[in-house]
Amino acid sequence: MKTGAEYEESLRKLSLKVYLQGELVENPVDHPMIRPSMNSVKATYALAEDSQFEDLMTATSHLSGKKVNRFCHLHQNTDDLVKKVKMQRLLGQKTASCFQRCVGMDAINAVDSVTFEMDENLGTTYHHRFTNFLSKVQEEDWTVDGAMTDPKGDRSLAPSKQVDPDLYVHVVEKRQDGIVVRGAKAHQTGAINSHWVLVMPTSAMKKDDADYAVSFALPADSEGIYYIYGRQSCDNRKLEGGDIDVGNKQFGGHEALIVFDDVFVPWENVFMCGEYQFSGALVERFAGYHRQSYGGCKVGVGDVLIGAAAVAADYNGAAKASHVKDKIIEMTHLNETLYACGIACSSEGHKLTSGTYLVNLLLANVCKQNVTRFPYEICRLAEDIAGGLMVTMPSEKDLRHPEIGGWVEKYLCGVAPVPTEHRMRILRLIENITLGTAAVGYRTESMHGAGSPQAQRIMISRQSNMEHKKETAKAIAGIETR
Ligand code: SF4
Ligand code: FE
């Protein structure tokens, strides 16, 4: 396994083509806007080195029998699924942001079982190729960007019917030695902190869209891959050099648009090429795992936000007010409900033919559907407790100013002897999670990450076994229909 320092060094060796605010970034690792997100991924390595977290952060590879980072592991039982969620909650608590590495973990688990089933049904040889790739992922302890979401253009049209055929990633040429792909993947979490990218189709494809049913892996700095860095609310504060106004100086997350400009993929890295019948299963499983993930990561960030709201109440003397206590209880109730769903869909997981365990899809979708709502309410209550000062407060530079700093110190103080600076710091943290750079990962990603709400409702409808419910009702009501 790599140490945190080795991970950082390994990123320096990549030559990624990253554009940020219209400029090509020479050194993404040390760029002040990108670095906090690198620190979050680095934490997935650093925590795995710490013996007190070994049980959650590491696992035994079913391929090599060696200890591997859990982010590179295929779930071998329901205990692995439960530990995954606990690991994500821990990392959410440690970083208060998106630590990005889960998309690759969820992608390898989904591609494993689907390539196995494709080979069983169609006589293809994808699973062997995938297992070779996975061995390298585990050996090198790579961070993999699991890339699913295409830009999608006109949502009412199928991939092959779009005015521009590149709005979904597709195969433009099949050669003896491999394929050439073109298109883009949007909202790619942690793309610039990844060693490899693992591409999957974005939806269930039909026969006409067979060229869009494509899955493959490539080194992140392959010829023809470009990254365009996503803006975040308040991101320019990271360029100011201070440490209060950013809210969370050390950690963050990022998303990017990845462009595949006629990129060559050797056959050994191709895991689906035209088998449209299996694209739906791949999407469903990846989404299922990632919806489970949110029952861990968002809960961990929620822990920090609830803690910050409670500290803010301590600092302004409102902590003993009964309505404040009740709001903290409500936030905790909502947060633990999300966790309960994450644990439940894991405990109710089952084994697939490849040997890898899949979550209970109904419960994973219920988990994510709750995530589209509860963090919003948790944010609302945190803002209620924080008070308006969270968004009207002067800057760190004002606090440090030789002439006016004294006034900021004097008039923004709360409970003595808590320094005004501490109060400012905790309010900026709440601002960061609810409205600032981390809000991408906590607030809006809760809505759209791992699929927008309607995608879960479709899955809930499909998995709900309504006929069985109707039968139970008829049986109790004494209705005989047979
Ligand atoms: Fe992991 Fe959560 Fe970020 Fe997804 S949003 S990559 S599950 S931390
Ligand atoms: Fe996500």
Q: Are residues 206 and 325 in the same domain?
A: no
Contact criterion met (CB below 8 Å) for 34 and 229: yes
d(CA 155, CA 160): 12
Residue 481 falls within a domain, yes or no?
no
What whole-number distance in Å separates Cα of residue 429 and Cα of residue 438?
A: 9
Peptide bond into 201 cis (omega under 30): no
318 and 466 in a single domain? The answer is yes
The answer to whether residues 211 and 346 belong to one domain is no
Per-residue pLDDT, 124: 98
Query: Backbone phi, then psi, for 144, in 5-degree steps?
Result: -115, 130
Same domain, 267 and 291: no
Say which residue the tokens 């936030």 belong to.
331
Residues having CB within 6 Å of any atom of ligand 1: 98-100, 102-103, 189, 293-294, 297, 441, 445, 449
* Same domain, residue pair 68 and 172: yes
What spacing in Å lies between the alpha carbon of 91 and ligand 1's midpoint?
A: 10
Domain match, 233 and 161 both:
yes
Q: Is 294 a catalytic residue?
A: yes
Q: Which residues contact 88 (CB under 8 A, 6 or more apart)?
A: 102, 293, 296, 297, 299, 300, 342
Flag residues of the chain having pLDDT under 50: none
Total domains present in the chain: 2
In a domain, 293, yes or no: yes
Q: Do both 31 and 113 map to the same domain? A: yes
Please indicate, yes or no, if residue 478 is contained in any of the structural domains. no
pLDDT for 481: 78
Q: Which of 277, 312, 347 is the last residue of a domain?
A: 277
Residues 181 and 329 in one domain: no
Rounded distance, CA 243 to CA 443, Å?
22
User: Which range marks the domain in which residue 335 is found?
Assistant: 281-471
Q: What is the pTM of this model?
A: 0.97
Q: Measured between alpha carbons, how far is 130 from 464 in angstroms, rounded to an integer? A: 32
Strand partners, 179: 174, 265
376 and 400 fall within a common domain: yes
Ligand nearest to the CA of 338: 1
Which residues share a beta bridge with 17? none
Which residue's alpha carbon is nearest to atom 3 within ligand 1?
98
Cβ atoms within 10 Å of 417's Cβ, excluding its own: 5
Whether residues 318 and 221 share a domain: the answer is no
Per-residue pLDDT tens over the stretch 14-65: 999 999 999 999 999 999 999 999 999 999 999 999 999 999 999 999 999 9
CA 247 to centroid of ligand 2, rounded, Å? 21
